[in-house]
A and B are shown apart, each in its own frame.
Chain A
Amino acid sequence: MTDLRDARISRAQFFRMMGGLAVAAAATACSTNPQSGGTTATGASGAAAVDLKFVGVADQKAPMDALLAAYKQAKAGVSIAASYAPTDQVQTSLRTQLGAGNAPDLHVVYPGSGSAMSMTEIAKAGLLADLSAQAWTQTIPTGFKPAFQQDGKTFMYSAGSSVIGAIYNKKVFQEAGIDAPPTTWTEFLGVCEKLKKAGKVPIALGAQTPWVTQLINYALVPSTVYAKDPTFDDKQSAGQTSFAQSGWRDAMEMYLELQKRGYFNDKPNGTTFEQQTSMVATGKAAMAIQVSAVLPAFRDAATSPDDLSMFPLPGSDDAATVWIPAGVVVGLGASAKGKHAEEAKAFIDFLGKQENINTWAKAVAAIPLTQDASSTIDPAVESFLPFTKDRAVPFMDQRWPNAEVQPTHFAVVQELLSGKSTIDEALKKMDEAYAK
């Protein structure tokens, strides 16, 4: 028997083999579903059907699942294929698609400016469809307009706002003998001390996950900066003030005071968001300073979800000057360059109906953008409602001029927590990033 390794083939045999391979490869390539690219085909009903593509961030899956099902009922002939990815990956893949000119018909957009996928950045590049003609855009509250609008035109949809505060485990609080959430900074420190004495980690901090690092500053800065000067953003933008000259310094000192007093878990820089979540959900830690949009994740991890609630983190010793951060929830926009821009805009118009705003807001524990009798507000965020009228400011990054300030903030907080840097150095780096 001829050993396979010694077998020889003639030139003709070789060409036949290669030809066969080529045909097989071509057949495979051609069999790719031609509808996946968002083309028009004929639907079952006989009317022209449209396939739209949506690329979103993982947090949007729950509300979109519900609303896509509703849209299918409302509008036969349009089908929307949705895919989701974590924030970092979405930024990479979507920016590449936008740069290459093959953006999906609908995609995630971050409110305001201050990130590479923010409304301002993409709208300036002319890649977002103008939604200003839609009825819901007329009811955007004035304070939120900078998050949705660029040069007076609306380019993004969002169902409402979320708040940053303390997500806490009521049972752990009760066991430590704490009856009511604190309303001033001193009271807050007292609560932490009680929890620590009761053998609990007062505050779980997962600072290895970059975006988690910023939340304590975001929760404090409304009281230490904006309560004293609501026009801080404008002044900073005009170069009249800076991070280093403002209450940002106080906020960072308060942040580090919590660490110095031993109120965080051990090694926050080595702890992730997931570990932080499970610490609070299982009662090992009493609270975490977090954004309300992740409440569903905390509830999923908890054995009794009703134990979890939220309270505003008091960043001041005078309860009347405590302000809170309330930012527009991550939204979506329609591609201006897509073949089906009109159909994509029609879907956003559908999302803008009050009942759909309610559905979306409920799924992410947000405060609906506009409210009617059927709007529900998650009981966990009810304690924030008295603040939303005139003692709330958007998340800080939504007014920052470039995408570099926020990652710099993440990095300097990690450096501060590891003791490798000082508050002066941290603020200097942030000011430098702001000036770029």
Chain B
Amino acid sequence: MTLTTQPPVETPPAVRARRARRAASFSPSWWFAVPALLVYAGVVLYPSIVGVFYAFTDWSGIGEGKSFVGLANFRAILGDEQVMGSLGNTLLLTVAILVVQNGVGLLLALGVHAKLKSRTLLRVIFFSPVVVSPVMVAFLWKYVYTPDPSAGLNGLLGLDIDWLGDPSVALWSIAGMVVWQYAGYSMVIFLAGLEGVPKELHEAAMIDGAGTLQRFRYVTWPLLAPALTINLMLSTIGGLKLFDQVFAATNGGPGYATETLSTVLYKQAFVYGKFGYSTAIALVLALFVAAVSLVQIYYLRSREVAQ
């Protein structure tokens, strides 16, 4: 294969001027962002910062009575079995979702990227669960996961498993429904990455004698790195703050088997009436998610550059 380099074609001055004008009319000043920033500051930033204050109090969520308790809430978190148990559950769920959702998403993307007749229809079908509310998905899956051996998933697979009622299975059942819902989301991001892989590189590799697997390993995979970064980060954040599906499907049960950090902090605030303590857990969760995301993005970005 021969690569030819052509000398760059000189752009005529009139065209350059027109392009510059067009560019100027399409780059609004920074103050265009001010209304949006003000709304964001008022609705998100301000309440979040004020909320931090409650993490250092024993406020019950109602009434005026609250007193400053220093770091007591944070010390209590360390000794709280329920919080620590839910942290373990959250991490397990996150890893399971991260691996399976992105694996399935990538396979789906590769499948519908191929020259299939029905690929547009398939893309729509695989993506459609994403647009359903997570709570609705959980309610639907409660039917799929019915313990009746002759119905639902049990009936389909000829099994007799108590999907949501057996503490050693329930967590994975929840991971299953989350993957079902969001694999299509990962698929779309991978698909965008696949569309961006130049045909010429595949052609070049084919001429060099690379097979399908080799082309995936040495051409597609490295160029998918940015899509992978986004997908891993989104599924990590989604997994760490998982709430709706758990709340609707098992409410943290049986026992504490599917309790996540988000369901625990919800219960502390609204069921136990410990608003201050709940805010402290929320703060720790937020810092934890931020730290994990930063580490992840730092590592994956450096991997993108290296490749």
B165–A268 touching, CB < 8 Å: yes
Q: Is B65 located at the chain interface by the 8 A CB criterion?
A: yes
Tell me whether B255 and A411 are in contact (CB under 8 A): yes
User: Tally of A-B residue pairs with Cβ under 8 A?
Assistant: 107
Please tell me if the beta carbons of A92 and B270 are within 8 angstroms of each other in the complex: yes
Collect the chain B residues with CB atoms within 8 Å of residue A207's CB: 165, 254
Contact A420 B251 (CB under 8 A): no
Chain A nearest Cβ from B46, distance in angstroms: 15
A98 at the interface (CB under 8 A from B): yes
Taking CB atoms, residues of chain B closer than 8 Å to A121 are: 60, 62, 273
- Segment of A123-131, A180-188, A233-241 engaged in the interface with chain B: A123-131
Residue of A88, A402, A403, A415 touching B255 (CB-CB under 8 A)? A415
B165 touches A127 (CB 8 A): no
A70 smallest CB distance to B (angstroms): 31
| B184 contacts A by Cβ under 8 Å | no
Are B163 and A270 in contact, CB atoms less than 8 angstroms apart? yes
B267 lies within 8 A of chain A by Cβ: yes
Let me know if A418 and B167 touch, CB within 8 A: yes
B: number of interface residues (CB 8 Å): 34
Given the known interface contacts A208-B165, A208-B250, A271-B147, the answer about A95 and B255 at a Cβ–Cβ threshold of 8 Å is no
A366 to B273, CA, bound (A): 29
* Residue interface mask B248-265, A partner, CB < 8 A = 1: 001111111100000000
Per-position 1/0 for A224-248, Cβ under 8 A of B: 0000000000000000000000000
For A5, the chain B residues whose CB sits under 8 A away are none
Distance A414 CA – B253 CA, assembled complex (angstroms): 7
> A270, B165: Cβ atoms under 8 Å?
yes
Chain A residues within an 8 Å CB radius of B267: 407
Q: A267-B162, A270-B147, A418-B167 are in contact. Are A99 and B61 (CB under 8 A)?
A: yes
Please state if B162 and A270 are interface contacts (CB–CB under 8 Å): yes
**Cross-chain contact B270 with A116 (CB below 8 angstroms):** yes
Chain B hits for A410, CB < 8 A: 253
- Supposing A8-B22, A208-B164, A415-B255 touch, asked if A125 and B62 sit within 8 A by C-beta, the answer is yes
Judge whether B102 is part of the interface by a CB distance below 8 angstroms. no
Tell me if B131 counts as interface (CB < 8 A to partner A).
Answer: no
Chain A residues within an 8 Å CB radius of B147: 266-267, 270-271
Q: Tell which of B60, B65, B164 touches A270, judged by Cβ atoms closer than 8 Å.
A: B164
Rounded to whole angstroms, the CA-CA distance of A129 and B180 in the bound complex is: 49
What is the distance, in angstroms, from A84's C-beta to the closest C-beta of chain B?
18
Check if B270 sits within 8 Å of A404, measured CB to CB: no
Partner among B63, B146, B162, B252 whose Cβ is within 8 Å of the Cβ of A269: B162
Partner of A127, one of B22, B63, B167, B253: B63
B269 to A, closest residue via Cβ: A95
The docked-state distance in angstroms from the alpha carbon of A11 to that of B272 is 55
12 interchain pairs (CB within 8 A)?
A11-B25, A95-B62, A126-B64, A210-B251, A210-B253, A267-B147, A270-B162, A270-B163, A407-B271, A411-B252, A412-B255, A414-B167
